Structure 1
Amino acid sequence: MGTATSSMAAKFAFFPPNPPSYRISVDDEATGKLRISDVHHRDDVDVLKLTTKKGNEIVAMYVKNASASLTVLYSHGNAADLGQMFHIFSELSLHLNVNLMGYDYSGYGQSSGKPSEQDTYADIEAAYKCLEETYGVKEEDIILYGQSVGSGPTLELAIRLPQLRAVILHSPILSGLRVMYPVKRTFWFDIYKNIDKIPLVGCPVLVIHGTEDEVVDFSHGKQLWELCKEKYEPLWLKGGNHCNLELYPEYLRHLRKFISAIEKLPRLRNVSEQSTDEVVENSGNTTEQTRPSTDYKEKGRTTIGHREKSRLSTDSREKSRSSTDKRDKSRRSVDRSGKARNSIDQPERARNSFDRFGDMVRSVGLCSVDCLKQTAAEA
């Protein structure tokens, strides 16, 4: 039943550009190097085809920056593909001084298969694996960036990477159903349950959202930020809507500030090198490891820039490493509790709720990138 419902939800929630905005061609017959059509050839961009564990072949692009120390893995929004994002990715790599990998979800652009929640999880895994195995990028040097619906696969991967450097959420969603209907609890048939996953992310999180977002209400980004364990100063763009945040000067300025702060942080793998006394001093009891205290939440409202001076949340990193098993249990318990809550009235209430979900999702896409064409032209 869960698989069937997820498949139905996919038909409503995913809007790949039709036709795709680009084609793939062979740039060099001798090496078999690929290129994206209709964009200027760049030696610093690799175009790749990656096979996912679901058996789909997805297209990815890797923008190299010789002076970069960090790599961004970018999951784009709905109704977008690499052809539309090419210039934005290239500009971000240049101005943020990072390597950047972007990829198309299954069924998007020239990627094979059909889009679904589970397929997007397999897609981002394939892109992450490529960074590790092909480019030698380490987990602690990766920043995950999720835009709109891309916040779903981003957070799913983030909760499984205890040494991840940071996460950026751009116009993120609390969950698929909550985009359309202000439900107060998580239903078993919902997709991208970000509201349940964000407290499990142990690295610094930056949230960016427009206050006049007409697709994903500003309250989504605000609530996700409030639930973060490691808060970074958020960027609330006054008057910004769902697809024009890149046009605001503050957008790039705030991202630069965030990347600069993250570069100064010690890698999480160095936590194990602390003295026993320091680890004991920074470790809380079991309850505190799974849920930040009230005092910690207040501290979280300060910027990382301030926290650098006082040893940014070393205890939180230790907690994230020591509670990996606990997170897995928590993720399973969330799914089980969602099912248990709905098991009694599932035949009628769940069916009616899903009907409303379908009707609402049919009328609204999680993101449209028509307005991003202006961004690309500006770049």
Structure 2
Amino acid sequence: MGKLCYLFCCPPVPSRIAGKLAFGPPPPSYQFQQIEGSDKMEIVFDDTADWMYSDRERKKLECVYAKTSRGNKIGCMFVRVTNYSKFVIVYSHGNAVDLGQMSSFYYGIACHMKCNVFSYDYSGYGVSTGRPSEKNIYADMMSAWEVLLKTFSVREEQVILYGQSIGTVPTIYLASQTKPKAVVLHSPFTSGLRLLIPSTKKTNCCDVFPNIDRVPSITSPVLVIHGTHDEIIDLSHAVQIYQSCIKPLEPLFVEGAGHNDVDLYQEYLDRMKKLISIELPAM
């Protein structure tokens, strides 16, 4: 109760709620460094990144900075496993990791799905400047999107927007304003206030991350993925998000999975492969 009082009293401040609810950047697990004799950059990991592949694979991670509309500089990374990728997964990660810690997963899923992956760090994460906030996370997404289209020459219709947990916020925000090939919402929540106070029925001025209000504006097909035993975001949030989609795909509710282990289940890999190899090419 004390935490709720701190968040919501005298009067409530949405930016404070957002910070307390959503953001916990870890110590940076990587750096960007200039490649000798080149104007390009590469990623260099420390031990906490737990990079699982060789230095040859690491060199397939193309790194750039993007400047946001709010004056921050964010790190972006393109995982290029093929020059003939039909789709590109644009991945907005969860709140307690950075690009370095996600790199092995990105490389692995890119190889498994035979498509390239693009990701970025939110303001205040990894090499990105500034601090994490709701306004910054939207600006981060928009600047990363611009880099993807312009620097890496990816077309909007090639993109699968993918958001995990807090990453569903910028993903839904962008998807409601563009038309990607598809959207994947992994462990989504309806809004910040509804997450903290499940009895909340309507969005009000104190709420943050109003995903449930933006989902009906998404005109692309949407795949919702959630663990049935998620200890942080109840499955009911995913169900409400799914029911609000105008073009829902068959959802994946992984029996027994929690908040952070959905991608360890074979059902997850099978569902993603079905999306990329069967459903989307037929659309």
The residue type paired with residue 76 of structure 2 is: A
2:172 to 155, 161, 175: 155
CA distance, structure 2, for counterparts of residue 236 and residue 32 of structure 1? 41
User: In the TM superposition, what is the alpha-carbon distance from 1:7 to its structure 2 partner?
Assistant: 2.4
Residues 327-359 of structure 1: per-residue CA shift (max 9 Å, x gap): xxxxxxxxxxxxxxxxxxxxxxxxxxxxxxxxx
1:25 to 23, 33, 40: 33
SS at match of 2:274: helix
CA distance, structure 2, for counterparts of residue 184 and residue 34 of structure 1? 47
CA distance, structure 1, for counterparts of residue 131 and residue 244 of structure 2? 32
Confirm whether residue 15 of structure 1 aligns to residue 23 of structure 2: yes
2:114 to 92, 97, 106: 97
Confirm whether residue 236 of structure 1 aligns to residue 244 of structure 2: no
Q: Check the 8 A contact 1:27/1:35 in 2, yes or no.
A: no
Give 1:142's aligned residue.
159
CA distance, structure 2, for counterparts of residue 43 and residue 262 of structure 1? 31
Confirm whether residue 73 of structure 1 aligns to residue 90 of structure 2: yes
- Structure 1 residues 256-265 or 236-245, which shifts more? 256-265
1:6 to 8, 14, 19: 14
Give 2:68's aligned residue.
52
Of Structure 1 and Structure 2, the greater strand share is in 2
- Structure 1 residues 22-31 or 145-154, which shifts more? 22-31
Pick closer, same or farther for the CA change 1:136–1:93 going to 2, 3 Å: same
SS at match of 2:101: helix
CA distance, structure 2, for counterparts of residue 218 and residue 43 of structure 1? 38
User: In the TM superposition, what is the alpha-carbon distance from 1:262 to its structure 2 partner?
Assistant: 4.1
**With structure 1 as the length reference, what TM-score do the two structures score?**
0.66
Q: Check the 8 A contact 1:166/1:262 in 2, yes or no.
A: no
The residue type paired with residue 137 of structure 1 is: V
Correspondences of 1:134-283 after superposition (within 5 Å) = 134-161=151-178, 163-182=179-198, 183-266=200-283
SS at match of 1:264: coil
User: In the TM superposition, what is the alpha-carbon distance from 1:29 to its structure 2 partner?
Assistant: 4.4
Residues 59-106 of structure 1: per-residue CA shift (max 9 Å, x gap): 111011223111111100111111110101111111111111111100
The residue type paired with residue 54 of structure 1 is: R
The residue type paired with residue 60 of structure 1 is: C
User: In the TM superposition, what is the alpha-carbon distance from 1:10 to its structure 2 partner?
Assistant: 3.1
Residues 214-257 of structure 1: per-residue CA shift (max 9 Å, x gap): 00001111111111110111101001000001110111111000
Q: Check the 8 A contact 1:16/1:109 in 2, yes or no.
A: no
User: In the TM superposition, what is the alpha-carbon distance from 1:16 to its structure 2 partner?
Assistant: 3.2
**With structure 2 as the length reference, what TM-score do the two structures score?**
0.88
Pick closer, same or farther for the CA change 1:159–1:51 going to 2, 3 Å: same
The residue type paired with residue 94 of structure 2 is: G
Query: Which entry has the higher C-alpha Rg, 1 or 2?
Result: 1
CA distance, structure 1, for counterparts of residue 213 and residue 263 of structure 2? 28
Q: Check the 8 A contact 1:215/1:242 in 2, yes or no.
A: yes
Residues 104-130 of structure 1: per-residue CA shift (max 9 Å, x gap): 100111210011111111111111111
Give 2:131's aligned residue.
114
Q: Check the 8 A contact 1:70/1:263 in 2, yes or no.
A: no
CA distance, structure 1, for counterparts of residue 40 and residue 240 of structure 2? 46
The residue type paired with residue 220 of structure 2 is: C
Give me the identity figure in percent. 41
* Aligned-residue RMSD, C-alpha: 1.6
User: In the TM superposition, what is the alpha-carbon distance from 1:158 to its structure 2 partner?
Assistant: 0.4
CA distance, structure 2, for counterparts of residue 93 and residue 20 of structure 1? 23
Residues 32-52 of structure 1: per-residue CA shift (max 9 Å, x gap): 423232344323210111111
The residue type paired with residue 13 of structure 1 is: L
CA distance, structure 1, for counterparts of residue 224 and residue 183 of structure 2? 9
CA distance, structure 2, for counterparts of residue 261 and residue 176 of structure 1? 34
CA distance, structure 1, for counterparts of residue 137 and residue 176 of structure 2? 15
User: In the TM superposition, what is the alpha-carbon distance from 1:21 to its structure 2 partner?
Assistant: 2.1
Q: Check the 8 A contact 1:67/1:97 in 2, yes or no.
A: no
SS at match of 1:23: strand
Residues 11-43 of structure 1: per-residue CA shift (max 9 Å, x gap): 312333342222333333433423232344323
SS at match of 1:222: helix
User: In the TM superposition, what is the alpha-carbon distance from 1:212 to its structure 2 partner?
Assistant: 0.4
Residues 353-376 of structure 1: per-residue CA shift (max 9 Å, x gap): xxxxxxxxxxxxxxxxxxxxxxxx
Q: Check the 8 A contact 2:227/2:253 in 1, yes or no.
A: yes
Give 2:45's aligned residue.
37
SS at match of 2:153: coil
Q: Which runs of 5+ in 1 are unaligned?
A: 267-379
